[in-house]
Amino acid sequence: MIELELSEEQRQLQRTARKFADEVMSPVAQEHDEQHKFPREIIEKGWELGLLNMTIPERFGGIELSCVSQVIVAEECSAGCVGMATSMIANDLALLPILIGATEEQKKKFVQPFTEKMRYTSFGLTEPNAGSDVAGMTTTIRSDGDDYVINGAKMWITNGSHAEQFSLFGKTDPAAGHKGITCVVVPGDAKGITRGKPERKMGQNASDTIGLTFEDVRVPKANRIGAEGEGFKIAMQTLDASRPLTAAFALGVARKAMEHAIAYSQERKAFKQPIANFQAIQFMIAEMAMKLQGARLLTYQAAALVDKKEERSSLISAYAKAMAADVAMEITTNAVQVFGGYGYSKEYPVEKLMRDAKLIQIYEGTSQIQRMVIARQIYGGANPSGGLV
Ligand code: CAA
């Protein structure tokens, strides 16, 4: 049975997130982008409204939203400003490995504090020389009595400047490829962590992105999440669950660009009439609307599969992430085109959306990696329809 209706509770959540995006995020989005300013106060307000840490179970004081509900929030917030939304969702991404692989006692220790006050946590997977190739990471987690000693570097870490805790992946057995990867929780104040300067990026400038180095950083073995060697699987399961949210970011950015393009095309006159009268423009708007809705339906299907839990959502999560990111790139690029010269100007909102969209094709697994996941799933026997056919 397919139901494509949101519940009243989900509509309310959507209204709350949209009001926050329209009234709190959007008015200062341009300024944060231009000044590369971290939106600390805005994120704190979002935390108070329950728009962060959405995955935390109720038993630890969280609101435990379904993935579908999180997708609703993610689309709205990214329509406000996706750079800010990326920094908001980074906590959920970092908490997921703990929720997937930790014991109840560890979850209480490492997850519950995030419901008590606004704290930041970061997901530490990517390295300077290992982005797409997770198994190629070289950070080491060496056993030393009751402790682990961590050495290595991480790169492109969202909210890394502010994190009080890292969900970090490294190798306890460097010779064992992906089977040697382990996940540990590292307190942000551990001795030996050096935080780099915020990266200067093309877009999503409100989000904080840094590199980190770990030099003989010591953590107790009790901070290990899951067994030694289980880290790769935990990371992949985390990404399966978080990719629908990244897809929802793309929906928010694309929707905003389309709305601007529709409004502008009705105002702007050329050849004595609004440019919306021209078929060339109408076809661009029609393409935007249908592709956005196609990507949205895939995103909801992926989120619904994540919520089902009993089956791997890798295939549909990858479809959603790749499709939505590519569609957002196309829609934002065409929105700039509809605006013509003004679209290229920083006085108008669409150039920011185009720059912001580009990153969605790169982070959380590039568009090419999503296609690799899709092909492997299909050749591995997965049902390409996700069970619909
Ligand atoms: N769930 C469970 N198990 C999985 C799995 C999944 N989703 N994906 C793979 N596995 C298992 C495989 O079954 C295989 O198991 P066996 O050992 O039993 O054979 C094992 O893991 C190894 O799998 P692969 O052979 O497919 O591994 P690979 O080394 O070829 O890499 C990859 C696979 C898909 C390319 C992976 O490296 C990948 O996803 N790369 C992209 C990384 C990424 O998305 N990074 C994003 C960082 S976070 C971020 O960007 C956030 C931000 O800034 C905001």
pTM of the model: 0.96
Percent of the chain with pLDDT over 90: 97
Residues in contact with 375: Cβ distance below 8 Å, sequence separation at least 6, in sequence order = none
Note whether 121-227 and 232-379 share their fold. Answer: no
The arithmetic mean of pLDDT across residues 85-109, rounded, is: 98
Q: Give CA–CA dist 334/236, Å, rounded.
A: 33
Encode pLDDT of 321-373 as tens digits. 999 999 999 999 999 999 999 999 999 999 999 999 999 999 999 999 999 99
Contact present, 250 and 295 (Cβ < 8 Å):
yes
Q: Give CA–CA dist 12/15, Å, rounded.
A: 5
Q: Which residues line ligand 1 (CB under 6 A)?
A: 86, 90, 93, 123, 125-126, 132-135, 156, 158, 178, 232-233, 236-237, 239-240, 312, 314, 363-365, 369, 372-373
Residue 124, Ramachandran bin (φ over 0: left; ψ between -120 and 50: alpha; else beta): beta
Question: Confidence band (pLDDT; 50, 70, 90) for 1?
Answer: low
Question: Confidence band (pLDDT; 50, 70, 90) for 310?
Answer: confident
Does CATH number 2.40.110.10 belong to domain 121-227? yes
Does CATH number 1.20.140.10 belong to domain 232-379? yes
Per annotation, catalytic residue among 127, 330, 351, 364: 364
Query: Which stretches of 2-107 are assigned E, i.e. beta strand?
Result: none
**Residue extents of the structural domains in the chain:** 8-116, 121-227, 232-379
Index of the ligand 1 atom closest to the CA of residue 157 = 53
Query: For 300, phi and psi rounded to 5 degrees?
Result: -65, -40
* Statement: residue 180 has pLDDT above 90: yes
CB atoms within 10 A of CB 279: 8
* Statement: residue 2 has pLDDT above 80: no
Per the structure block, which two tokens stand in for 142?
A: 């060496």
Question: Confidence band (pLDDT; 50, 70, 90) for 4?
Answer: confident
* Statement: residue 3 has pLDDT above 90: no
The CATH class given to the 8-116 domain equals: mainly alpha
Q: CA gyration radius for the chain?
A: 21
Encode pLDDT of 99-149 as tens digits. 999 999 999 999 999 999 999 999 999 999 999 999 999 999 999 999 999
